[in-house]
Amino acid sequence: MRDRMLKDGLTGFQDHELLEMLLYQSIPRKDTNKIAHELLRTFGSFGNVIDATPQQLAMVKGVSEATACNLAMIKEAWSRWKVSKVQRKRLATVEEISEFVGQLISNEYVEKLVVAYLDANSKLVAQKVYSSNNSTEVVFNQQAVVADAIRLGARGVLFCHSHVDGGVVPSREDVQLTERMVIAFASLGIAVVDHVIFNNHGEQYSFYQHQLIQKIIEKHKNTII
């Protein structure tokens, strides 16, 4: 298979053949064909195999903990490649922000929050990813986010986070977090351009589109300096 890949590339490989190649990296002296087929049978598709957690993968016969971790790393490597492709990307319109969100942290199995720092031209300066060890919550240091924005000279901040296997309507905590961030950044002359919530079903909710950020600013217009 390696000779075939070097000669013709991977395009012509079937899903089970590509899985065999991946499995062989951690199981070099064993027939990986049966394991590849069992993974596809268990999870239903190649994509679902890559989306599976290490714990789920390790439940399949023949898949060790090390092999499960190697397979799980493929998705993280792909995610980081996508992140590198969007460096210095312009994030000025709803469509540009939506695409950015989808490229960054879609199809996650744990909740994640991305804080994107933008310059005066709405171009990406830097981003920081906060993740949890479960699918229900993520904790981050709000003071550190403000400090990073000041250090980077950011003129805008974009918040994006996932609701894994859930709806995208913001919770009370999501609204309260956004309100605190809008107030904190407004006093520094930094705009919270949006807070986008998404799930692994492709749904998204934009605070900006639903005018929630504007309502927060209006609510606190007498206290924001």
pLDDT tens for residues 75-93? 888 777 766 655 556 777 7
Bigger pLDDT: 166 vs 193 = 193
Query: For residues 18 and 178, what is the distance between their CA atoms, to the nearest angstrom?
Result: 43
Q: Domains in the chain, start-ordered, CATH in brackets? A: 2-80 (1.10.150.20), 88-219 (3.40.140.10)
d(CA 139, CA 34): 41
Per-residue confidence (pLDDT) for residue 225, from 0 to 100: 60
- d(CA 70, CA 12) in angstroms, rounded, equals 23
* Contact call for residues 186 and 216 (beta carbons, < 8 A): no
Q: What is the rounded average pLDDT for all residues in the chain?
A: 83
Q: Going by DSSP bridges, is the β-strand pair 204-206/156-162 parallel, antiparallel, or unpaired?
A: unpaired
Say whether pLDDT at 107 is over 70: no
Confidence at residue 91, expressed as pLDDT on a 0 to 100 scale: 77
Among the residues of the chain, which ranges form H helices?
2-8, 15-24, 33-43, 46-51, 54-57, 65-85, 94-105, 142-152, 172-186, 212-219
Cα-based distances in Å from 45 to 14, 116, 157: 11, 33, 37
pTM for the full predicted model: 0.59
DSSP class of 172: H
pLDDT bin (cut points 50, 70, 90) of residue 72 is confident
Reading phi first (left if > 0) and then psi (alpha if -120 to 50, else beta), residue 202 is in left
Classify 224 as helix, strand or coil: coil
On the question of pLDDT at 135 being above 50, the answer is no
- Look at 167-171, 186-190, 220-224 and tell me which has the smallest mean pLDDT: 220-224
The lowest-confidence range among 1-10, 141-150, 154-163 is 1-10
| Average pLDDT rounded to a whole number, residues 142-147 | 90
Averaged pLDDT, 199-210: 86
d(CA 156, CA 119): 6
Q: Is the pLDDT of residue 137 over 60?
A: no
Residues belonging to the chain: 225
pLDDT at 3 over 90: no
Query: Of 86 and 223, which is predicted with more confidence?
Result: 223
